[in-house]
């Protein structure tokens, strides 16, 4: 299993029988015996935070798999965190509403140095001579920062943590190619939404990496021809962290309801997520962009008990144009669209009795209104919904069966 991009700005919450685990820089595979979890070459890694994450899992006896860190992954430094704050302050000084809502964890500046070729990689931490030279160059580019950490202290700290992490740092592409040759299964784990992709997301309110299927290949070293399936994961409603246009956002009591019932807070930052209704314009767009072969719809339980569930089926622009599958490129235009909704009958609450019925009977026990909701998503995205999740326990994810090919798609209605 490979986490392919991002850094400690995005976490994955995993609910185990032993309790809740929040992973920030490790692939989820490290929680399973017999699985190798790779922090891939597309990531930017805070080495001290990574070490703390590993130690925490070891102390809780939850580190069951093998930890491997790509030697090509870039290092996120305190310099980058200072630069992140400096950039946000610069944006807001020029425009009070100009913040892009970063986590201020240094992710953007770390990627800037990566592509500017100033960066330091994990492999440099275990080659002291190279590390010193790279730091000299990097510090020369950061003269605009006030009160950066002393260069010698940072080098010593990096050498120290690098010596302890050296056992995990390896060239990972050959491992993956060997696994492919042996017929092993490889799961590429994204870290953020495709709508945060630096090229295809709601720019400039995006992250600095490529959380798309194509980006996952680049961030792992897997050849494109080896990709078998692309599973798109979408909530039954929509959320967003940070600033940026969000046409289906809802406020007031309903917004508070979704926030509370969905426990919608960032796993890493704890920031409350903005909540709204499912947006088929965006889902159609990212389905085509990523080449989804199937969908997993999550958090259906959060909407249980509502009389009606809205789905955004299109946008109306200021000029009266209707948009159905491609959001406006310019954020200022996107912020002005009016969502067009279809109302769907709600489904019952996911009581313990209903959950048990679904566990015993499978698809037959899924409420009819929810089946119609899922069928509509399949019809409109041309991607079959293969998984339904209605809770945090592993038993609360239901496999609905294999869908038909995406293009063309044959929709087989489920019986109510």
Kindly report, residue by residue over 356-381, the tens digit of the pLDDT: 999 999 999 999 999 999 999 999 99
322 is a domain residue: yes
| Mean pLDDT value across the chain | 92
Residues 343 and 255 in one domain: yes
| Tokens encoding 10 | 């995005």
382 & 235 share domain? yes
Q: Cβ(218)–Cβ(42) under 8 Å?
A: yes
**pLDDT confidence of residue 266:** 75
Overall pTM surpassing 0.85 (yes/no): yes
Q: Within this chain, do residues 380 and 257 fall inside the same structural domain, yes or no? A: yes
Q: Report whether pLDDT(115) > 60.
A: yes
Domain that holds residue 352: 230-399
Give the residue from 134, 165, 196 where a domain finishes: 165
Q: Are residues 362 and 260 in the same domain?
A: yes
pLDDT computed for residue 50 by the predictor: 97
Q: Tell whether 26 is covered by a domain.
A: no
Whether 294 is covered by a domain: the verdict is yes
Q: What are the pLDDT digits (tens) for 230-259? A: 999 999 999 998 889 999 999 999 999 999
CATH number of the domain to which 160 belongs: 1.10.300.10
302: domain CATH number is 3.90.170.10
Nearest to 247 by CA among 341, 319, 380: 341
Q: Which of 108, 137, 165 is the last residue of a domain?
A: 165
State yes or no: pLDDT of 12 exceeds 90: no
Is the pLDDT score of 412 beyond 70?
Answer: no
> How far, rounded to the nearest angstrom, does the alpha carbon of residue 143 sit from its chain's CA centroid?
33
Domain count, the chain: 2
Dihedral angle sign, alpha carbons of residues 396, 400, 405, 409: negative
pLDDT of res. 407: 38
Considering the domain architecture, whether residues 387 and 238 belong to the same structural domain is answered as: yes
Question: 152 and 257: one domain?
Answer: no
With respect to residue 266, please indicate whether it lies within any of the assigned structural domains: yes
pLDDT in tens, 310-363: 999 999 999 999 999 999 999 999 999 999 999 999 999 999 999 999 999 999
Does 8 reside within a domain?
Answer: no
Confidence of residue 415 (pLDDT cuts 50, 70, 90): very low
pLDDT cut 90: percent of the chain above it: 84
Q: Tell me the Cα Rg of the chain.
A: 22
| Judgement on whether residues 127 and 257 belong to the same structural domain of the protein | no
Q: How many CA atoms lie within 13 A of 339 on its CB side?
A: 21
Residue 334 tokens read as 């996107």
| Residue 362 domain-assigned (yes or no) | yes
Percent of the chain with pLDDT over 70: 96
Is residue 413 pLDDT above 70, yes or no? no
132 half-sphere exposure, CB direction, 13 A CA radius: 4
């Amino acid at each position: 299993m490979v986490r392919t991009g991002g850094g400690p700005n995005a976490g994955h919450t995993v609910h185990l029988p032993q309790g809740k685990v929040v992973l920030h820089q490790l692939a989820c595979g490290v929680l399973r015996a017999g699985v190798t979890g790779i922090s891939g070459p597309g990531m930017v890694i805070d080495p001290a935070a990574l070490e703390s994450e590993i130690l925490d899992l070891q102390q809780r006896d939850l580190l069951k798999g093998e930890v491997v860190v790509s030697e090509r992954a870039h290092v996120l430094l305190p310099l980058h965190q200072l630069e992140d704050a400096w950039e946000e302050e610069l944006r807001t000084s020029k425009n009070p509403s100009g913040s892009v809502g970063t986590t201020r964890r240094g992710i953007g500046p770390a990627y800037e140095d990566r592509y500017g070729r100033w960066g330091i990689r994990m492999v440099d931490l275990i080659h002291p001579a190279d590390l010193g030279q790279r730091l000299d160059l990097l510090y020369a580019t950061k003269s605009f920062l006030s009160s950066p950490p002393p260069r010698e202290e940072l080098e010593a700290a990096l050498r120290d943590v690098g010596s302890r992490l050296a056992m995990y740092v390896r060239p990972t592409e050959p491992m993956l190619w060997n696994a492919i040759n042996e017929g092993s299964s490889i799961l590429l784990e994204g870290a953020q939404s495709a709508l945060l992709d630096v090229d295809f997301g709601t720019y400039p309110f995006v992250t600095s990496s490529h959380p798309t299927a194509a980006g996952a290949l680049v961030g792992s070293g897997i050849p494109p021809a080896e990709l078998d399936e692309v599973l798109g994961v979408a909530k039954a409603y929509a959320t967003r962290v940070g600033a940026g246009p969000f046409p289906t956002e809802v406020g007031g009591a309903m917004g508070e309801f979704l926030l509370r019932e969905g426990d919608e807070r960032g796993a890493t930052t704890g920031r409350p997520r903005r909540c709204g209704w499912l947006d088929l314009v965006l889902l159609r767009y990212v389905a085509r962009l990523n080449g989804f072969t199937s969908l997993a719809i999550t958090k259906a339980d959060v909407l249980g008990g509502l009389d009606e569930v809205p789905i955004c089926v299109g946008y109306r622009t200021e000029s009266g144009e209707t948009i159905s599958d491609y959001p406006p490129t310019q954020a200022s235009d996107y912020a002005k669209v009016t969502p067009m909704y279809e109302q769907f009958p709600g489904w019952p609450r996911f009581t313990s009795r209903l959950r048990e019925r679904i566990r015993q009977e499978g698809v037959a026990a899924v409420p009819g209104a929810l089946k119609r909701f899922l069928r509509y998503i399949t019809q409109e995205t041309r991607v079959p919904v293969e998984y339904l999740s209605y809770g945090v326990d592993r038993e609360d994810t239901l496999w609905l069966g294999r869908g038909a090919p995406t293009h063309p798609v044959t929709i087989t209605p489920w019986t109510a």
